[in-house]
Amino acid sequence: MTELLQIVFDALSLGSLYALGALGIALIFGVMRLVNFAHGDFIAFCVFAMLWPSINAAAIVFAGNLPFYLLVPLLLLVGAALSVLSEVIVFRRFRNANPATMMIASFALGFAIRNLLLMLYSSRPKSITLWPSLSLPVEVFGARIPMLQVVTITLTLVVLAALTLFIKRTRYGLEMRAAADNFTMARMLGVRANSVILLAFAISGMMAAAIGLILATNSGTADINMGANVMLIAFIATVIGGLGSLPGAVAAGFLIGAASVVLQATLPHDARVFRDAFVYGAVIVVLLLRPQGLFAPKSAKQRV
């Protein structure tokens, strides 16, 4: 029983990470058909923003010393600003380019960000301790669960609820959904293209910052490649969820998280090292059966 509960919490917290990542990608894809491969580097950038530039192994914590009620908003702001700047400086030039061109631009941007970090911080991973108290376990129905997992899951649920409310209930959310459905039509009804896209980038950037915070707290290290793995799985989640579908991206994120954790727990010991191969195998099977994704939005078909 406690073992099962442990697995559930592992699955939920890993799934939370993937769901947040997939959401960040799906939001931008929805409004401008861009798969932003720089998203992983946004995550790393946000983590390094907490450190003072230095090439030593021992990190000089900078913003990371702030109390959490200042650090979290500051980091969300950093993520949003980086993301918005990327749109204004880079992606806006490719607004009418084909999706492949935009995707390559995003690779280039990611490369530029990674190398900037490399220049400022060197390639050595740095240790960073944010909230040591979060790694202490708490007792939930007899199972000992790390506090961080509980916090991660709770925060993700709060973020998802807030985003759902925003998208369903506010005028800006409505405009974002309309633009994701049919961008030109939305513009002809007066929806401002730039505002909607900037908003999507800002929210997506905040998601990246949130992931960065969770990863850094969890692993205790800042590594230039730390966003890459999450980004890859998050991207796969958006594809499985049906590109452009936000609920689909979230559901698929949790699904992949759960699959990874369950496989880790149930595979025979010798096969565990190949866990990811099993996960990706399952992904391939899903895509063979439903190439449009599990939750393809109606608009995906008729998009011009």
Partner 1 sequence: MTLLAVDNITVRYGRLTALRGISLTIEAGEVLFVTGPNGAGKSTLLNAIAGVVPPISGSITMDGAEVVGTPPEQVARLGFSLVPEGRNVFGGLSIEENLKVGAGMRTDRSKIAGDRASIYDEFPMLAARRHTPAGMLSGGQQQMLVIGRALMTSPRLMAIDEPSLGLAPKIIDQVYEILMRLRAQRNLTLLIVEQSSARALMTGGRMMLLRGGRIVLEGAAGDMVKDERLKQAYFGFGDH
* Dist. CA 250–CA 262, nearest whole Å: 18
φ, ψ at 144 (rounded to 5°): -95, 110
- Closest by Cα among 212, 210, 199, 211 to 84: 199
Per-residue 3-state assignment (H helix, E strand, C coil) for 90-143: CHHHHCCCCHHHHHHHHHHHHHHHHHHHHHHHCCCCEECCCCHHHHCEEEECCE
In the complex, the smallest distance separating the C-beta of residue 187 from partner 1, rounded to whole angstroms, is: 4
Within 282-301, the residues that bind partner 1 by CB under 8 A are 297-299
Cβ atoms of 21 and 211 within 8 Å: the answer is yes
In the complex, the smallest distance separating the C-beta of residue 245 from partner 1, rounded to whole angstroms, is: 9
In the complex, the smallest distance separating the C-beta of residue 104 from partner 1, rounded to whole angstroms, is: 23
CB nearer to partner 1: pick between 60 and 189: 189
User: What letter would DSSP give residue 267?
Assistant: S
CB nearer to partner 1: pick between 31 and 117: 31
What is the per-residue binding string for partner 1 in 133-162, x denoting contact by CB under 8 A? ------------------------------
Cβ atoms of 32 and 201 within 8 Å: the answer is no
Radius of gyration of the chain measured on its C-alpha atoms: 19
CB nearer to partner 1: pick between 98 and 133: 98
- Classify 221 as helix, strand or coil: strand
Structure tokens that stand for 116 in this block:
């900037």
CB nearer to partner 1: pick between 269 and 298: 298
302 scored as a contact of partner 1 (CB under 8 A): yes
In the complex, the smallest distance separating the C-beta of residue 302 from partner 1, rounded to whole angstroms, is: 7
CB nearer to partner 1: pick between 171 and 269: 171
Give the binding-site size for partner 1 (rule: CB under 8 A): 21
Within 165-204, the residues that bind partner 1 by CB under 8 A are 171, 174-175, 177-178, 181-182, 184-193
In the complex, the smallest distance separating the C-beta of residue 291 from partner 1, rounded to whole angstroms, is: 20
What is the per-residue binding string for partner 1 in 203-232, x denoting contact by CB under 8 A? ------------------------------
**Residues recorded for the chain:** 304
CB nearer to partner 1: pick between 195 and 266: 195
In the complex, the smallest distance separating the C-beta of residue 215 from partner 1, rounded to whole angstroms, is: 32
φ, ψ at 130 (rounded to 5°): -95, -70
In the complex, the smallest distance separating the C-beta of residue 193 from partner 1, rounded to whole angstroms, is: 6
- Classify 51 as helix, strand or coil: strand
CB nearer to partner 1: pick between 56 and 184: 184
- Distances in Å between the Cα of 303 and the Cα atoms of 31, 81, 147, 213 are 12, 30, 44, 36
Element (H, E) at 16: helix 2-32
CB nearer to partner 1: pick between 39 and 177: 177
Binding site for partner 1 (CB under 8 A): 171, 174-175, 177-178, 181-182, 184-193, 297-299, 302
